[in-house]
Amino acid sequence: MPLPLIELEERLRLFNKLMLELLRGRIQRTTFQPWEVELLLDIEACQLKDANRREVLRRYQKAAIRYVDRGGRTLLKLSEYLDKKHRQPVDRGSAAVEE
């Protein structure tokens, strides 16, 4: 459901705080907003491998910020980010064929 701009900006601020906690590897608080729990469960369901977890989370955070900056009215979930990333066509091979 689309959020009012003021609420979306506040959620984005809190989202960045949550992502910082995840990237540091320690969450020290014990209470969460329902939307934060939803995002945390989504991240957990994606079953990221420890080897690239931090890098994927950094890229996801940047993509979520860009999504809102470009007019998105909700926060992007990790599963949505990964789905979009894997659906994009890869044109790297076509440049090599043309040469």
Domain that holds residue 13: 5-88
Helix-then-strand count for the chain, H and E = 5, 0
Report yes or no on whether pTM surpasses 0.85. Answer: no
Asked, for residue 94, whether it belongs to a domain, the answer is no
Asked, for residue 49, whether it belongs to a domain, the answer is yes
Asked, for residue 93, whether it belongs to a domain, the answer is no
What is the SS3 assignment for 91?
A: coil
Asked, for residue 58, whether it belongs to a domain, the answer is yes
User: Lowest-pLDDT range, 45-54, 56-65, 80-89?
Assistant: 80-89
Taking a C-beta distance cutoff of 8 angstroms, is the pair 13, 6 a contact?
A: no
What pLDDT digit, counting tens, does each position of 10-60 carry? 999 999 999 999 999 998 889 999 999 999 999 999 999 888 999 999 999
Q: For the chain, what is the domain count?
A: 1
**How many Å apart are CA 78 and CA 70, to the nearest integer?**
17
For 70-99, what is the mean pLDDT?
75
Q: What is the pLDDT of residue 87?
A: 82
Asked, for residue 76, whether it belongs to a domain, the answer is yes
